[in-house]
Amino acid sequence: MAARALPTILVIDDEPHSVAAMRMALEDDFTVLEAANATEAWAHMEEHWVQVVISDQRMPGKTGIELLTEVRDRWPETVRIIVTGYTETNDMIEAINEAGIYQFITKPWHPDQLLMAVRNATRLFELARDHERMTLEMRYLGSAASAKLEDKRRLLQEGLGFDKVLRGPNSSLNTIIALARQYASFDVPVLITGEPGTGKTNLARAMHYGSLRADRPFFELNCAGLTDAALAAELFGIKRGAAAGVQSTRVGLLQKADRGTVFINGIDTLSPEMQMSLLRIVREGAFQPVGSHETLSTRARLLTGSHIDLRDAVAEGRFRSDLYFALSVTELQVPPLRGRPGDIARLAERFLHEAAEAHGKPVRGFSDAALDFLEQYDWPGNMPELRNEVIRMLIVAQDVTLGPELISRHILQAEPGDTGADRRAMDLGTMDGTLKDRVEMMEMRILRETMTRMKWNKSRAAAELGLSRVGLRAKLDRYGIEPHAATAEEE
C-alpha cells in the first residue's frame, strides 16, 4: 500500500532564519514550501495543493494580512495562520475581518506551539472538506430529517448562542465574542481564562451552540474543590464494583457528550496525575473509566477554562507545558466585571427582572442614582456578587423602582471613580496619610452612605449619626457631598 502523502504547508517570511526555524519544526510531519515574498508565495499556490499558509505580518511590499486576504479570495478552503510580534486589538480585529485568519501566533513562538497549531489547521482543512461534501450530499438528498435538524440547530443557536451573552455596544467583551465566533465552527481546543464569575461557562456554552455540534449535548464540569477520584468518576465514568458503594456502572461526561461539547473549568487546580490524563484525552481522545482496564475513545469537543494565567503556572512548574500548548491552540481572555463598567447596568437589569419573575414580585427597574453606585463599584466577586446584590435589593424594596438607599453599605461607602471603586482603601491599615487624613476619609464615606440610605433626609441622618442638622450640613459642605441629580432632597 502506498504511503499517504504528507499535507503541504506554505511558509512565507522575508527572514531566512525564521523560515528555517519553521521548516525544522514542521518538516517531519508536513511537506514544507518556502517563500520570501508575496510573488513567490503566489507561484507556489498556483502550482501546489496547499492546505495551510503561515505568513509573517511584517514584510516588504505586501503585509501578511494583505497577502492572506488575496489567498482567501482565490483559495478560500486554505487555512490561514499569521505570525506577528504585534498583538494590538485593532490589528487582531482587522486580520480577522479582512483575511479570515484562523489563528495568530505571536513571536517568540515555541516549536511545540507551532506544530500543534499547524496540526489542528490541517485537521480543520480536512473537516471543512468533509463538511462541504456532506453539505452537498444533504442538499441533493433534501430529506425532511435534515431540514428538521437544521431548524433545531438554528433555534438552539438563537436561544443559547452568542446573542445571549449580554454586553453593551462598546463593551470590552465584544473583541472576545468576535474571536469566539471564529473559533466556534472549528473543532480545535479552546482555552478560556478569566477570574471566577466572569462568565467563562456562558461563553463556552455559546461557542457550543454556535457550532455544528449545537444539536448535541453540552456539559460543564468545574474541577475546583474536587478530589482526583471524584473528578475521574465524573469525567471518565466508573465501573461497577470499582469502589465501595458503587453498585452500578456510571457513565462519564466524555461518553455522555457523544459528539457534543465538554467544558472543563478550573484546570489550573488539576493535580499532576489528572493533567497527564487530560493530555491523553487531548492527544488521543482516549481514557479509561475508573476501575476498568478497557480504553475508550471520545468524540466530544473539549473546551477548558482557567481562573489564572497558565503561563505563570507553567513557569513555576505547577502545570505541564505540553498540556498548556495542547490546550491553548486558541485562547480567549474574559475580562472581569470591573473591566466592563458599561455592561453593569444591562446585567443588573437582567438579573433584576429574572429574580422578579422567579419570586413573583413586580418591579420596574433601577433609578439612575442606583445604577451610578453599581457602576462605580469594582465587583471583586464579578457576576455572582452583582446577582446576589440585585436579589437582596429586590427582597427589601418597597417600591417598583429600586433606589440607591437599598444598596449594601460597603458599596455605598466605596470611593467612586471612573474605573470602579477601590475598596482596599476601606481598610485603615492600608490607607496612606496621617491619622487625621484617614479619619476624615472614613467620615466622608460614612456620611455619603448614610445620606444615600436615608434618601437625603437630613433630620433622620443627623439623628442616626448623633449630629445636629447644622453640624451635619457643615460636614456635607466641608466634604463637598451632594445628592445625585435624580435623588429628591427633603423640603
Residue 340 has φ and ψ, to the nearest 5°, of -130, 55
Task: Report if residue 430 sits inside a domain.
Answer: yes
Residue 199 has φ and ψ, to the nearest 5°, of 100, 30
Task: Report if residue 85 sits inside a domain.
Answer: yes
The structural domain count of the chain equals: 3
pLDDT one-digit tens code per residue, 244-277 = 555 567 888 998 888 899 999 999 999 999 999 9
Q: Give percent of the chain with pLDDT exceeding 70.
A: 76
The angle formed by the CA atoms of residues 424, 430 and 432, to the nearest 5 degrees, is 110
Task: Check residue 454 and give its pLDDT.
Answer: 63
When mean pLDDT is compared across 27-36, 87-96, 396-405, the lowest value belongs to: 87-96
pLDDT one-digit tens code per residue, 90-143 = 666 666 666 678 887 888 888 888 898 899 888 888 887 777 777 666 665 655
In sequence order, the 6+-apart residues with CB closer than 8 A to the CB of 239 are 246, 249, 289, 290, 291, 292
Task: Report if residue 32 sits inside a domain.
Answer: yes
In sequence order, the 6+-apart residues with CB closer than 8 A to the CB of 31 are 5, 6, 7, 8, 9
Single out the residue in 308, 335, 362 at which a domain terminates. 335
| Whether residue 331 is found in the same domain as residue 344 | no
- Look up residue 419 and give its three cell numbers: 474605573
CATH number, domain containing residue 463: 1.10.8.60
**Dihedral in degrees, nearest 10, Cα atoms 208, 212, 217, 221:** -30
Task: Check residue 424 and give its pLDDT.
Answer: 38
pLDDT one-digit tens code per residue, 430-488 = 455 676 666 666 766 676 666 666 666 777 777 766 777 777 677 667 666 677 544 44
Q: Give percent of the chain with pLDDT exceeding 90.
A: 26
Task: Check residue 293 and give its pLDDT.
Answer: 84
- Rg of the chain's alpha carbons, rounded to an integer? 28
pLDDT one-digit tens code per residue, 344-394 = 888 999 899 889 988 888 888 898 888 888 888 889 999 999 999 999 999
Tell whether the model's pLDDT for residue 426 goes beyond 90. no
pLDDT category of residue 185 using cuts at 50, 70 and 90: confident
Q: Which residue has the higher pLDDT, 96 or 167?
A: 167
Report d(CA 410, CA 251) in Å as an integer: 46
Task: Report if residue 120 sits inside a domain.
Answer: no
pLDDT one-digit tens code per residue, 57-94 = 888 888 888 888 888 888 888 888 888 876 555 666 66
Q: Are 278 and 254 in contact (CB under 8 A)?
A: no
| Whether residue 306 is found in the same domain as residue 355 | no
| Whether residue 186 is found in the same domain as residue 254 | yes
Tell whether the model's pLDDT for residue 152 goes beyond 90. no
Q: Are 405 and 455 in contact (CB under 8 A)?
A: yes
Q: Are 364 and 400 in contact (CB under 8 A)?
A: yes
Helix, strand, coil shares, percent, the chain, to 5: 50, 15, 35
H/E stretch holding 409? helix 409-412
Task: Report if residue 484 sits inside a domain.
Answer: no
- Look up residue 401 and give its three cell numbers: 423602582
What average pLDDT does this structure show over 192-209?
91
| Whether residue 315 is found in the same domain as residue 346 | no
Single out the residue in 289, 312, 335 at which a domain terminates. 335
| Whether residue 106 is found in the same domain as residue 156 | no
Report d(CA 32, CA 368) in Å as an integer: 61
Domain hosting 57: range is: 8-111+125-130
